[in-house]
Amino acid sequence: MKSFKKIIALMLACCVMFSMTACSGNGGNADGNNGKHVKIGVGLYQDSGAAVDAVKAYLKNLESTLNVEFAYTVLSTNDEALNITKVQELIAAGCEGIIITMDAGMDAILAECRDAGVYLAGYLCDFDTSYRNNYSGVFENEYFLGTVGDGPCGDHTTRGVDFFNSVIEYNERNPENPIRHVAGTVFPAFAFPYSKVNFDQFVAEVEKYNAENPDKAITVDPFNEETDVLMFKPVDSTYFSKHPDIDAIVAFNAGSFVYPSMVSAGVADTMKLFAAGYNDGDNAVFGSKGAYQQEMVCAVESITYPLVLLLNKINGASYSDQPETAERRDCSTMIINSDEDLAKFEHSIYLTFQPEDAFLTPEEVLNLTAYANPDATYAGLCEILDHMTIEDLK
């Protein structure tokens, strides 16, 4: 009898839990020119964090104006089977378009999209593996509409130059205590092929600068395969002994892979850190308050590009200048390298999660679609991606 009670209690608990958490889609119909009601799946790279909360806040604000609802899932960087399953689940949940942030298992994923009549687009991902090895299978696939990268894509990369500019800007702001000696960190080439390219680009810029400014020369430690390639683990404690007397680290990866090791080694108060990416809480140790002197992120509003492409396709509209095959577009980067920049960044949707702090309003996004605005162009859609820098923040 006790067992029966337990079973009934379990089932009731499940029912209550399911009913409490069940989807509450609005089921509304399209009015006017804001398109039919559409459900879009969004496969993110993690399930929490500032960027995730910000993108959800941004998309939530678009729902009523664009007559769209969103379903979320989390993908894996390199577990293709999981990605396929997650895409299948989004399709099963009724999504007619899916935005994904990973380039793994694309052939199988696009086969699923073909079978279900669902379109796919990319966000924060340059699909570099597919671009180099499977261009026709992915970029020429009718169900793949295009992607926007996490900054400049592939060979367009300017990260090394950006890092160099940030170091020089720091030196100009701190002439009494300039950075003269740096070392770098990168991710392994097989996973991030442009990470080392960016470092080399940085070195080339420094060499050019040194030739023109021998009195202000900056020394870059020779690249050390053993310590400078981070296998998705924090910097090893030997890093600091291999790179003695450095003033700063230029980390072509998230600062979270470096900063904790700097703290452990007791150098966080004296050494500076120029990093890619932004993590929650970094602003507390940024600029005059700590080691971080540069961070860079892409605006969450860049998701507008894949979203609008999907909505156009689902609503049967296209631009007059729509390219024949899918493209991967560069996105401007918000480079934060001063207290002033940070103050502006702290008022962006990335940190406030307030839709009114976004680069685009729902009406502006609707106006970018081909079905709501016959004059809208693909060039216009791409142009917004160029205006999401720290200078463009309102």
Partner 1 sequence: MPENVKTGETASQQTKEKVTFAGFLKSHATDLMAYAGLAVMLILFVVFNSGPRLMYNFGSVIQAAAVYAILSLGAVFIYSMGFMDVSLGQQVGVYVIMMILIGNKIGGIGGVIIGFLLVLALALVCGAINGAVSIFLGLPSIVTSLFLMFFFTGAQFLLMEGTGENTIALEVASALRPADRNAYSLMLIGIIVLLALIGTYFFKYTKLGKYTRAIGANKVAANQSGISLVKWQVLGYMALGFCTAVASFVMLTRTGTAGKGTGSGYAMDIMICLILGGMPLKGGMKSKISCALVGALTYTLLSNVLTTMGVPLQWVNFVKALIFLIIVLLTCRKSTGILPR
154 binds partner 1 (CB under 8 A): no
Q: By CB under 8 A, is residue 49 in contact with partner 1? A: no
Restricting to residues 224-263, which ones interact with partner 1 according to CB under 8 A? 231
Site for partner 1 (CB under 8 A): which residue of 12, 191, 204, 343? 191
Min CB(111)–partner 1 separation in Å: 8
For partner 1, the closer CB: 230 or 390? 230
Going by their DSSP bridges, the two strands 327-329 and 144-148 should be labelled as parallel
Nearer to partner 1, 105 or 160 (CB): 105
- d(C-alpha 202, C-alpha 198), whole Å: 6
Min separation Cβ 1 and partner 1, Å: 9
Closest CA relative to residue 352, chosen from 90, 50, 22, 30: 50
71 or 285: whose CB is closer to partner 1?
Answer: 71
- Cα–Cα nearest to 282, from 33, 66, 51: 51
Strands, E, within 14-160: which ranges?
A: 38-44, 68-74, 97-100, 119-123, 144-148
Residue 91 structure tokens:
């399709």
- Looking from the CA of 27 toward its CB, the CA atoms found within 13 Å total 2
- How many Å apart are CA 385 and CA 126, to the nearest integer? 14
With contact defined as beta carbons under 8 Å apart, do 118 and 96 qualify?
yes
Integer-rounded Cα radius of gyration of the chain: 23
Whose Cβ is closer to partner 1: residue 8's or residue 343's?
Answer: 8
- Smaller CB distance to partner 1: residue 7 or 343? 7
- Which helix (H) or strand (E) element contains residue 331? none
Q: Which of 36, 37, 65, 74 binds partner 1 (CB under 8 A)?
A: 74
85 sits near partner 1 (criterion: CB under 8 A)? yes
According to CB under 8 A, which one of 73, 195, 337, 369 is a site residue for partner 1? 73
Evaluate whether 169 touches 141 at the Cβ level (below 8 Å).
Answer: no
Binding of residue 18 to partner 1 (CB under 8 A):
yes
Looking only at the bridges linking them, the beta strands covering 38-44 and 97-100 are: parallel
Q: Tell me the C-alpha distance between 106 and 51, whole Å.
A: 24
Q: Any contact of residue 189 with partner 1 (CB under 8 A)?
A: yes
**Residue count, binding to partner 1 (CB under 8 A):** 54
**24-43: which residues touch partner 1 (CB under 8 A)?**
24-25
Find the shortest distance in angstroms from Cβ 323 to partner 1.
Answer: 25
Residue 278: which of 47, 51, 42 has the closest Cα?
51
Q: Which is nearer to partner 1, 231 or 284 (CB)?
A: 231
Q: Is 158 in the site for partner 1 (CB under 8 A)?
A: no
Q: How far is the CB of 23 from partner 1 (least distance, A)?
A: 2
Token readout for 71 is: 């379903």
Which of 92, 204, 343, 379: binder of partner 1 (CB under 8 A)? Answer: 92
Sheet of strand 333-336: strand arrangement:
219-220, 181-185, 248-254, 272-276, 292-298, 333-336
20 or 211, CB closer to partner 1? 20
Residue with smaller CB distance to partner 1, 48 or 288: 48
Per CB under 8 A, 16 contacts partner 1: no
Q: Does 11 bind partner 1 (CB under 8 A)?
A: yes
Site residues, partner 1 (CB under 8 A): 3, 6-7, 10-11, 13-14, 17-18, 21-25, 44, 47-48, 71-74, 76-81, 84-86, 88-94, 103-108, 112, 115-116, 129, 133-134, 188-191, 231
